[in-house]
Amino acid sequence: MSVRIAIIGAGIMGADHARIVAEDLPGATLQVVCDAAPERARKIAEEFGAADVSIDPVGTIGRGDVDAILIASPDETHAPLSLAAIEAGKPALCEKPLSQSAKECLVVIEAEVSRGRQFVQLGFMRRFDPSYRDMKAGLDDGALGHAIMMHNFHRNVEAPANFTGQMAITNSAPHELDVARFVLGADYTAISVFQPAGINASRTGAPVFMVLETDKGQLVNIEINNNAAYGYDVRGELVGEKGSIFLNAPVYIRQNGQLMAYERYATDWRPRFAEAYRLQNKAFLNFVRTGVFPVIASDAWDGYCASLAAEAGVEALRKGGRVTIAKMDKPSLYH
């Protein structure tokens, strides 16, 4: 029987997930599209053939004709709706971040622990991206030797109007905070955050530069530049004692003209990570079917670790200097 999925939130990511479920996920049905704005829900539902629409997220989660939830509503609703899914006993794929507060992530963790199973898969889709996957495999097979540094660049064309300065750390950087921790198999112990001199730091999407230290002694740097102007550009390099691995973005053509060769950048993250989203959602469908949590996916514990590092980053930005990161002991539910 087809798995009936409800999508909560019909914004950019909700629409993209609706497309994937409707067109690229055999065995899943787009059952309900729910959004606070009914016309937005209706538009996406009509475009991708959903059976119904709603403006009530918790009511949608509880419906008898819904088997699994995809949460793509604004950041501050992620944890409360994840809790509602756990309460209803339904698996949820929740967009990142799980919460902007590590304390709130712990509430989700406690809810899963008290039920003795995992329900929430987190949408840190880069773990499914083939370039990060191969980077991790290159490290794990020993070819690089011990990993010592990881460089990360995350650039958007233009920050959305609702983006505050801090959101570079709490909304954009969690991708790198999660994927670097995943690739290195390490945890963060401290973070320092810098901004270039002479910029208006409160400006929407002002650049931020972070340096993290891990419990294996590695250094991880992350540049977030949400107003890079020229294109969506995510780069990374993992440096080991015996070599290094660069990420390549999928680029299918190189154009020549006017004595120049050039490649096109995407306008945002969806084309760059299209395959990662597809594989992530496929893994979620398998999780719903089998109850076995996907080995490489992020879970509520990973969401907590990313939020803890982001919170420390916000503090480091505010007061300057280095902030240590101390996490709780990991409950045995999470591997």
Q: Is 31 in the site for ligand ISE (CB under 6 A)?
A: no
Q: Which is nearer to ligand ISE, 99 or 226 (CB)?
A: 226
Does 307 participate in binding ligand ISE (rule CB under 6 A)?
no
Closest CA to 231 of 266, 206, 274, 255: 266
Which of 100, 118, 156, 280 is the binder for ligand ISE (CB under 6 A)? 156
CB atoms under 10 Å from CB of 302, counted, come to 23
Per CB under 6 A, 118 contacts ligand ISE: no
Q: In what order do the strands lie in the sheet with 244-246?
A: 244-246, 233-240, 147-155, 219-225, 208-214, 188-194, 322-324
Considering only 137-145, 167-175, 285-293, 314-322, which stretch makes contact with ligand ISE by CB under 6 A?
167-175
**Is 269 a binder of ligand ISE (CB under 6 A)?**
yes
Q: Which stretch binds ligand ISE (CB under 6 A): 35-43, 60-68, 170-178, 300-308?
A: 170-178
Q: Does 172 bind ligand ISE (CB under 6 A)?
A: yes
Q: Which residue's CB comes closest to ligand ISE?
A: 172
Q: Which of 171, 214, 218, 225 binds ligand ISE (CB under 6 A)?
A: 171
Of the ranges 37-45, 137-145, 169-177, 291-299, which one interacts with ligand ISE (CB under 6 A)?
169-177
Place of tokens 């992620």: 78
Cα–Cα distance, 332 to 277 (Å, whole number): 28
Establish how many alpha carbons lie within 13 A of residue 128's alpha carbon, considering only the half-sphere containing its beta carbon. Answer: 22
Q: Which is nearer to ligand ISE, 128 or 269 (CB)?
A: 269
Number of residues that bind ligand ISE (CB under 6 A): 6
Rounded to 5 degrees, φ, ψ at 4 are -95, 115
Nearer to ligand ISE, 40 or 272 (CB): 272
Check residue 241 and report its DSSP letter: S
x/- contact string, 200-229, with ligand ISE (CB under 6 A)? Answer: --------------------------x---
CA 92 to chain centre: 14
**Rounded-to-integer distance, Cα 187 and Cα 205, Å:** 27
Could you say whether residue 124 binds ligand ISE (CB under 6 A)? no
Cis peptide bond N-terminal to 97, omega within 30 = yes
Q: Which amino acid is at 165?
A: G
Q: Is there binding between residue 281 and ligand ISE (CB under 6 A)?
A: no
Segment contacting ligand ISE by CB under 6 A, of 136-144, 171-179, 198-206, 212-220: 171-179
The residues, ordered by sequence, that sit 6+ positions from 231 with a Cβ below 8 Å of its Cβ are 155, 157, 264, 265, 266, 267
- Closer Cβ to ligand ISE, 175 or 181, answer by number: 175
Nearest residue (CB) to ligand ISE, 119 versus 269:
269
Per-position b or e across 87-110, b if 16+ CB within 10 A of its CB: ebebbbbbbbbbbbbbebbbebbe
* Interactions with ligand ISE, residue window 226-245 (CB under 6 A): 226
Q: 86: which residues sit within 8 A by CB, 6+ positions away? A: 92, 108, 111, 112, 115, 119, 120
Q: Which residue stretch of 23-31, 135-143, 168-176, 212-220 sits at the interface with ligand ISE (rule: CB under 6 A)?
A: 168-176
Using CB under 6 A, list all residues that contact ligand ISE: 156, 171-172, 175, 226, 269
